[in-house]
Each structure stands twice: as C-alpha cells, then as structure tokens.
Homo-oligomer: A and B are copies of this chain.
Amino acid sequence: MADNKTVRFGLLGCIRFASKFVRTVTQSSNSVIVAISDPSLETAKTFAAANDLSPENVAVYGSYEELLNDANVDAVYLTMPVTQRGKWAVMTAEMKKHVLIEKPPALDATELDKIVEACERNGVQFMDGTIWLHHQRTVKIKETLFDSGLLGDVRHMYTTMTTPVPEQVLERLTKEAMGLAGAIGELGWYPIGAALWAMSYQMPISVRAMPSSVSTNSVGTILSCSASLQFGSTTTAIVHCSFLSQLSTDLAISGSKGSVQMNDYVIPYKEDTAWFEYTSGAKFVDMHTGWNVMPERVTFDCGGTEESQEAMMLREFTRLVEGIKRGDLEADHRWPEISRKTQLVVDALKKSVDIGCEVVHL
C-alpha cells in the first residue's frame, strides 16, 4: 500500500452516497481508502461499518482537520454540502492533497477560482465529480460523431436533469444547504456541462432564463429553471433543471448533418451496458412515407464495475495523481478548466434569474 502506484484516499464527509466511491476505490487495482471523516464521529463510524472499512486499515476521524493532517492521505474526496466545499477544498490543496470534489464544486466561479488557484500553487490535481464525462460512451461520441464531422456543426441542443424532491423537503432546500443557485447548481450543472461538452467547451455568448420556467421555494432557493444558451449566431441549447419533475436526463444534439440522442447521459440505465443512438444524413424518403435511415444504436459493454463510469473517473484521477507523485506529470489543467466554464455558465444563469430573466452576456 505504500507503493507509489497506490493512491491513498481520505473522505471529507460520510454521506450515504459516498459508498459508491468507496466501492469503486475498493474494486480498483491502484487506490485505497485510508481515512474517513465527518463532523459527527458517530456518522463516520456508522459509515465505516456499513462499508466494511476495517479500523485496522482505515482511520476514522470526527473532524475534517484531523483527516487533512493525516500524512498517510494523498488525495481527498469531498462530499460535504456545497456551501462548505470551497473552504475545505482550499484547505485540502494547502495540505498538498489532491482534490476530487462533488459537483458543483463551489458556490460560484469566484470561490472556484480560489480552489483552483490553491491546487495549482500546491501542485495537486483538481477534478470535480462529473462522472458521465468519463464514461466510454461519452468519449466515443466525441470521437466518432463530433471529431469525425459525422454530425456536422452543432445547431441545437436540448438537455435536462430533473429529479423530483418530495414536497415536504422542498422547503428545506435552503441557502445554507445548497446556495441560492439551488437547482441551477445542483442539477443544471449537468445540462450546462453537456451543452459545453458538445460545443468542445466553446463558451456561450449569452444565457437567458425563461421567466415562466423559474420556480423558487419560500426562502428563495431556485427549484426549477429552463434557459437558452446562445453559442455564436447559429447554435442554441435549451437546458432544463428541476426538483419538481420526474427523473429525466435527456441529451439531444442536432447538427447540420446528423443528430445523437441519449436519455440516460448522467447515469446510464444499467451500470454494465450503455448505448447511444444517432442518425446521419437523415431524410424523409420519397412521398414521405418513412425515413431513408433508421437510428443507429451503438452499445457498450461496460464489463461490470471495472469499466463503469465511476471506475473510469477514478482511473483518470489516479493516473494523474500517480504521475504527479512520480514527478512524470504536472496537474492537468483541462479538468479545472471544464469545471470553471461550467460554473461560469451556472453563475450567468443564476444572474439572469436574479435580474428578471434578462439576457446575460458572457
């Protein structure tokens, strides 16, 4: 375990959802959980037991500070509420530990810049936990449809992340829990990131919330929002995020030559398989009785948990951390850059809502 091929993880925050990360690390060949922490020691202990983390191998702390002082920890996975992420991510970097942080990584781009600056200054890798970007399906679409020109220029996108929250919980979504960006940060992060991804991270020139789409709870947290993102003069993305709708994770991209479609881009329906469908050169046949092409389905065998998107993200993060530890690599600026661009659009959309759904130029 002391081998420099092994990345030794600590957790800041023991939310139930962190079990997925523990499972992925445990199944990996090059990383290990060495410490966990939570402001409630009780919560940390319960988490350790529930996840078969033996006290012999894993230190259990009742405070984040203790974990950050543990020299055995190389890299930290941060899952605390977004309102505390900025502070602790900076602290993590200052302790020269690599930062893998849940999304959204910060309350706004100003706070994110502080995190990224701290990571750069301390020579540690920064990556947010937008898992779907690491799925082999995502990588393959980029290569085979975008880079090849098969889709042509992107003209129109529609992308959502909606997931219902029980009515009695909606009022508990406070500024303290999630920042006032609310659904835009927590959910909108995905469709905004998907539109940026499809545009190869070209930034939109403007963002505008649709007035009728915005809902807030009584304390002003945004629960639902649709928006248009304008890229150059010919490309528009519609993004939709909501705590008020049924689960949906749609991504439809229309290009000048073809289109691609997924309804499970954030988390594939099944862990061990995934697909996307595309058409290229589609036309109605003569007399308009059908189409000249059918959607092509491309399916991926994700070989169980080894090739899951979580495993792929971990592999990329630990590849970088190992390289940096060996002195072969510098921190990769691509990942913080993706986070930063996503956050800038989240901020712009939040601002559009704040100023009465007027256009915000970027």
Contact = CB atoms under 8 A, between A and B. Distances in A.
Contacts of A23: 287
A308 interface: yes
Contacts of A20: 287-289
How many copies of the chain does the oligomer comprise?
A: 2
Contacts of A110: none
A201 interface: no
Contacts of A228: 210, 212-213, 226
A228 B226 CA distance: 10
Interface of A is mostly: mixed
Interface string A226-269: 10101001101010101011111010101111110101100111
Contacts of A234: 215, 244
Contacts of A245: 155-156, 254, 256
A206 interface: yes
Nearest to A163: B284
A166 interface: no
A291 B269 contact: yes
Given A228-B213, A267-B291, A162 B246 contact: no
Q: Closest 10 CB pairs between A and B?
A: A212-B230, A20-B287, A247-B282, A271-B289, A155-B245, A269-B291, A158-B158, A210-B228, A270-B290, A248-B254
